[in-house]
Amino acid sequence: MDASTDPTPYTRTRSNFWLRSGLLAAFAISLISIWPQMGLWIHRGVEWNGTFSVAYFDELIYASYINGLIEGRPLRSDPLIESSPGNVQPESLFSIQFVQPLLISGFARACGLSADTVFIILTPLTAFLTSLSLFYLLRSLTGDPRFATAGSFFVLCFGTLAAWCGKLISLLHIGGYVSGFLFLRRFQPGLTLAFFFAFSVLIWIALTRDGKRGLLASYSAGLFFTLLVFSYFYMWTAAAGWLFIVILLWMFFRPEGWQRSMMRTLPVVVIGAAALFIYALALSTIVETSYSAHVFEYTHAPDLIRFPLVISLAAIVMIWLSVKKRRVNWSDPLTLFTLSFSILPFLLFNQQVVTGRSLQPFHYQWFNGNYVALLALLLAVFALYRGAELLNQRHLVYHRLRQKFLQFCPSKWAARGHANSVHRPKAE
């Protein structure tokens, strides 16, 4: 792999330092995430009765479903529908998105925990894994563990504000009625944001690394996409849209190696298509009440008034200015990935212009588009800073060489001129 395709040719760090930085960031985010539960313990004292803090009303429904799985009820059991013991229920949104319920209930049954206890543990665990996957994504893209540590805090802590929610927005009465870390809603989205960041890391490795590592990352990305398909609708659709944008940008700005890029993304597409085929078969038998809970809106109108779009637009402008000032170039993998994250929110909120169907797009604003927009802005700032740093280094090298040249060359020229004046024959 040449220097032009090396994703981090400008950073050299100790191998164990980045791991300590990532664990430190993940542990800090986990401590912040359990503050609501600690407030419940402090307020209720010994009368907290083993309950978990609730930030969203639908967490109680999810807890009821997990409790049924822990007690041995089938996966297709729906906490919103009563059924006779011998009656087999059809597929529902709970049974189709089965990855997280099976992981949570399996962990609870193996450890002998109740649904309340496992929901308490789920919050810091989700915060830890999401922060760690985001840190590794930033570290892989930038090669700077310090920047990745600060970036993890920035994206996860300001994600609620980027969704135009939170205490500040509520106090100003300009929108938003939820607060806290939005990605920590149990169990949706739960771990799926960590899956999304891990999927992004694997696509990066597949496109920028040669040999077995890149090929293994491609197959692993397909498996993570499968986890997303059977985990959360709003996360796998975002992952599919982002991969589509990455492929288009890679083919347009790096056309010299488009065959290699297609071969690297082919396993992801094949595995993902197989997962979506199975998902579509299960979706065709879904119970009608599940559809009534998720209302389709039939429209072709664009949706351009959302705060994540403002942040993404700022990131795109910064990338354009960086390219215009020749601090970065369009073919740089970091630039392409930053641009792909910047474009994704526009696709999520405006896909109905083509499809004619919109399905509660505020989920994208709360659980994906806000974090992706902040990630794009962060990477755009880093690309601008890195470009300025490299430009200053080039200017510094140029000035040093020029000074040495001016110090060395006049004496040489003088000696050469003196020699020519001595041996040059006189004109008659």
Q: How many domains does the chain have?
A: 2
Q: Identify whether 200 is part of a domain.
A: yes
Both 363 and 401 in one domain: the answer is: yes
Both 313 and 259 in one domain: the answer is: no
Q: Identify whether 33 is part of a domain.
A: no
For the stretch 89-124, pLDDT in tens is 777 778 899 999 999 999 999 999 999 999 999 999
Both 304 and 360 in one domain: the answer is: yes
Identify the residue with better confidence: 324 or 409. Answer: 324
What share of the chain has pLDDT > 70, as a percent? 81
Using a cut of 0.75, tell me whether the model's pTM lies above it: yes
Q: What are phi and psi of 297, to 5 degrees?
A: -120, 120
Write out the residue range of the structural domain in which residue 317 sits: 295-411
Both 306 and 285 in one domain: the answer is: no
Indicate whether 269 pLDDT > 60: yes
Both 360 and 350 in one domain: the answer is: yes
Q: Identify whether 163 is part of a domain.
A: no
**Structure tokens, 59:** 């967490």
Both 383 and 303 in one domain: the answer is: yes
Both 311 and 390 in one domain: the answer is: yes
Indicate whether 337 pLDDT > 70: yes
Query: Does residue 74 have a cis peptide bond before it, meaning omega lies within 30 degrees of 0?
Result: no
For the stretch 50-74, pLDDT in tens is 889 988 888 999 999 999 999 988 8
Indicate whether 334 pLDDT > 80: yes
Give the separation between CA 305 and CA 299, rounded to whole angstroms.
16
Handedness of CA 394, 397, 401, 407 (dihedral sign): positive
Both 323 and 401 in one domain: the answer is: yes
- 251, 278, 294: which is the final residue of a domain? 294
Both 278 and 229 in one domain: the answer is: yes
Q: Identify whether 71 is part of a domain.
A: no
Q: Identify whether 108 is part of a domain.
A: no
366 Cβ contact list (under 8 Å, min separation 6): 163, 165, 178, 182
Average pLDDT of the residues of the chain: 84
Tell me what the mean pLDDT of segment 192-198 comes to: 97
**Structure tokens, 118:** 């496992």
In the prediction, which pLDDT does 187 show? 84
Q: Pick from 124, 238, 129: which is nearest to 194 by CA? A: 129
Tell me what the mean pLDDT of segment 318-330 comes to: 88
- 294, 325, 351: which is the final residue of a domain? 294
- Paired residues of 357 in beta bridges: 298
Both 235 and 282 in one domain: the answer is: yes
Both 363 and 265 in one domain: the answer is: no
In the prediction, which pLDDT does 173 show? 60
For the stretch 6-56, pLDDT in tens is 444 444 445 577 778 889 999 999 999 999 899 889 988 888 888 899 888
In the prediction, which pLDDT does 407 show? 63
Q: Identify whether 265 is part of a domain.
A: yes
What share of the chain has pLDDT > 90, as a percent? 57
Q: Pick from 100, 129, 359: which is nearest to 231 by CA? A: 100
Q: Identify whether 231 is part of a domain.
A: yes
Q: Identify whether 168 is part of a domain.
A: no
Both 311 and 256 in one domain: the answer is: no
Contact 40, 48 (CB under 8 A): yes
- 261, 294, 327: which is the final residue of a domain? 294
